[in-house]
Amino acid sequence: MTTGLNNEKGISNTFSHFNSQIPLQIALLFAPLAYCFHQIEESTGSFRTWRLRHFPNNNSLPVEYVFVIVTALTLFLIILFSIRKSKPTAQFVVLFLMATQVQNALYHVSAGVYFTDYSPGTITALLLYLPVNFYIVTKAISEGWLTKSTILAIFILAGIMFWAFELLGPALIAIFFGLGLVYVIASELRTNSQKQRPL
C-alpha cells in the first residue's frame, strides 16, 4: 500500500517537474503535431467525401494545399509569439488554434451526431485537439498572457471564424489572418507609445 502511494507520488512529482519546464511557447508546438495526426485520420477516412455529402462544395483547394497553408500559418504565429512575447501575439495564436482545432473538434462531433454519419477525424479531434488546446490555454492563463474572460471572447470569435470558413470558403482565412495581424501591430504600437509617453 505504502509502495503504491510512493509510486503515485513519484509519478505526480515527475509530471509536475516536466510541466514546469514547458513554457507556453513550447506547449504551442504540440498543436501542429496534433494537426498532423488529425490530417492523417481525415485523409485515410476520406473526410472530403463525407463533407460533400452534407455541406456545399466551396473549398476547391486540394487537401495538401490546406495542410501546408494551415501548418505554415500556425508555425508563423508560434514564431511570432516566441519573438514578441506579448499579449496580442498570445491572443492571436490562441484564437487561430481555437478556430482551426477546438471549433473543428466540435464540428466533427456535432455534425457526426446530427447527420448520424461518423465524421472522419473525430477520434483525433477528441483525443488530441481538445486536450492539447486545453493544456495550451491553461498555460497561457497561468503565465498571465490571457485571462478567463479573454478566453471566452476568443472562443466566440473563433466559432464565427470557423463557420464563416466552412460556409463561405477558404478566402476567409486570408481575411481573418490579415485582420489579426493588423490587431497585433496596432496593439503593440499603442503599447509602445504608452511606454514612451512622459510621466
Tens digit of pLDDT at every position of the chain (199 positions): 555 555 566 566 666 766 778 999 999 999 999 999 999 999 999 999 999 999 888 888 888 999 999 999 999 999 999 999 999 999 999 999 999 999 999 999 999 999 999 999 999 999 999 999 999 999 999 999 999 999 999 999 999 999 998 888 888 888 999 999 999 999 998 988 877 665 5
Q: Which residues contact 70 (CB under 8 A, 6 or more apart)?
A: 35, 100
- How many other CB atoms are there within 10 angstroms of residue 25's CB atom? 17
**How far apart, in whole angstroms, are the C-alpha atoms of residue 29 and residue 36?**
12
- How many other CB atoms are there within 10 angstroms of residue 106's CB atom? 16
State the pTM of this model. 0.89
Give CA 172 to chain center in angstroms: 17
